[in-house]
Structure 1
Amino acid sequence: MMKKISIIGVPMDLGQTRRGVDMGPSAIRYAGVVERLERLQYEMEDLGDIAIGKAERIDDEGVRLNLRNLKAVAEANEKLAQTVDEVIRKGNFPLVLGGDHSIAIGTLAGVAKHYENLGVIWYDAHGDLNTAETSPSGNIHGMPLAASLGLGHPALTQIGGYSPKVKPENIVLIGARALDEGEKQLIREKGIKVYTMHEIDRLGMTRVMEETIAYLKERTDGVHLSLDLDGLDPHDAPGVGTPVIGGLTYRESHLAMEMLAEAQLITSAEFVEVNPILDERNKTASVAVALMGSLFGEKLV
């Protein structure tokens, strides 16, 4: 991995309705992310937070389109895409701190232009493959992977001025256990590789990660990790807006990050959906920082 890491905070809470996730970047910084990675001999640069606009008090267009806060979400993602692009041009590793998962639209828009075949590991309880037509809620944090595939409203799919950002065959979903019907259909149609909790229970995390790494190594020239803390079980990560019981354990998640570190596969990453208001003594942010330690090469011995 690149030895210079640029941290980008994105205090976005407009992609969903539960307040508090905008404080996620601050909580992760408070949990010691900079100090943790500096101890691993990385040169750290904290670029601060992307400016986020305000929610529309009366969002008539968003309601009509089933895309809540579309304008503000799109504008923030454009800024994020530009910042991520600049970080990669400098030769640094972009580490994005969320914020809700709608920010992945901007992260991927900034990253994907630097790769011919970008791979994506989507570590999440959810598929985030909805569009306005399939979304039960209109929350854009359930749409970033679909938008990155070029599916959805142009204000989201054209972030960064191009589409799509990623090919379906270059995506691996890990930890899925709450998929909407439209998402299931899209996964079947596009042939997206998914390891649900059923597969993880049967195969074990070691085999899941071995297969994921082999699958992406042979077809991609860079891999982005998009890790939603609700991928973990709520027992280990309680401070998330959409918890789903029966998730990945703390230790399974560390193993996954350790194996990615050994494979030297990851070229950009984001950690999202930390909500301190719903948390217990900043536990979820601390888990996020611990997982970042493993991703960047921290070992138990």
Structure 2
Amino acid sequence: MKLSVILAPYDSGHYQSGFGQGPDALVTGGLIEALTLAGHDVSVEDIGKVGGDQPREIATGFAVCRAVSAMVDAALEDGRFPVVLAGNCLTTIGAVAGERADSVIWFDQHGDINTPETSAHGFLDGMALATVLGLCWKPIAHTVPGFKTIDPARCLLVDARDLDEDERKLLDTLPVLRASCANAAEQAGKLQGMGAVRTHLHIDLDVIDPDLLQVNRYTTPGGPGPDELGRIVCAIARSMPVTGVTLSAYDPAFDPQGDVPPVAGHLLTDLLAALERI
């Protein structure tokens, strides 16, 4: 398969800091070699510095999304499947826009569905899925080329085990599908019943059980093991029209032994193999 691996090395508006070091660490940890050895034709692109010399979280975060959207669109024009390696989950807005996705499957231990009105901490990344679904940041989100909000009924949120009370209340009012990893593949099939034909797969690596693999500092107990996560995303890939993938939220400072990159490489190679069998 022809692939475009797009690096978006930002964390809260800061270039190659914190989670923003994750994309490069995945690459230097052997991800590209794993994909190449699996027979893929891999092109690697970095969005570089965006947003000006004075980083501002909101402005820079959406500038990252605009850059990613353009690169994803170009990859698809070149017949390449886009894989975005992101520091922040907000970057998925750019991937969704570039793919013209009409549905999303969101693997994350967090809901990412706060809004400015409900967020206790003002953390932009905690509003990523809410923005994708058109619940907040509407004017600036629509500066991202190709962005259209996704109907909440075409969203599957998987294993969001760390929700605050406002997120729970909001989710109770929305037709967002919810699933544990164990029944995610079954629930994903319902998206097609809602007319989904272009599905973006978002995988925040902190969905994995931190007792088995520590990917960042914001982890809570529970979640699937790496092998279980791999089985589930492969089952989804074999049954759904997946148009692109984002991997996010890896902070190499919390992985001193470099355990995460090989797991990410294995996850992606298995996922792509499943897509090729369709």
TM-score when scaled to structure 2?
A: 0.89
Equivalence for 1:77: 65
Paired with 2:192 and 2:31, the residues of 1 have a C-alpha distance of 28
Aligned alpha-carbon RMSD (Å)? 2.3
1:133-171 CA-to-partner distances (Å, cap 9, x unmatched) read 111211111111111112212454313256643111111
Paired with 1:250 and 1:25, the residues of 2 have a C-alpha distance of 18
Equivalence for 1:265: 241
Equivalence for 2:128: 144
1:193-223 CA-to-partner distances (Å, cap 9, x unmatched) read 0114xxx5xxxx2xx1431342133321121
The 8 Å contact of residues 105 and 159 in structure 1, kept in 2 or not, is answered as no
The 8 Å contact of residues 116 and 122 in structure 2, kept in 1 or not, is answered as yes
The 8 Å contact of residues 11 and 21 in structure 1, kept in 2 or not, is answered as yes
User: 1:108 corresponds to which letter in structure 2?
Assistant: V
Of 82, 98, 107, which aligns to 2:95? 107
Q: 1:281 and 2:257 equivalent?
A: yes
Paired with 1:154 and 1:209, the residues of 2 have a C-alpha distance of 29
Equivalence for 1:127: 111
Paired with 2:3 and 2:117, the residues of 1 have a C-alpha distance of 38
Identity of aligned residues (%): 28
The 8 Å contact of residues 276 and 282 in structure 1, kept in 2 or not, is answered as yes
Q: 1:297 and 2:242 equivalent?
A: no
Q: 1:253 and 2:229 equivalent?
A: yes
Paired with 1:55 and 1:279, the residues of 2 have a C-alpha distance of 30
Unaligned 5+ segments in structure 2 are none
TM-score when scaled to structure 1?
A: 0.82
1:55 deviates by 8.4
Aligned positions, number: 272
Of 77, 91, 105, which aligns to 2:79? 91
1:22 deviates by 1.0
Question: Once structures 1 and 2 are overlaid, which stretch shifts more, 129-138 or 162-171?
Answer: 162-171
Unaligned 5+ segments in structure 1 are 60-68
**What is the correspondence of 1:1-301 to structure 2 with a 5 Å cutoff?**
3-14=1-12, 19-53=17-51, 69-112=57-100, 115=101, 118-160=102-144, 164-196=148-180, 200=181, 205=182, 208-218=183-193, 219-263=195-239, 265-297=241-273
1:214-262 CA-to-partner distances (Å, cap 9, x unmatched) read 2133321121110001101112331214111112212211211231343
The DSSP-based 3-state class of the residue aligned with 1:160 is coil
User: 2:157 corresponds to which letter in structure 1?
Assistant: L
Distance 1:141 1:264, change over 3 A: same
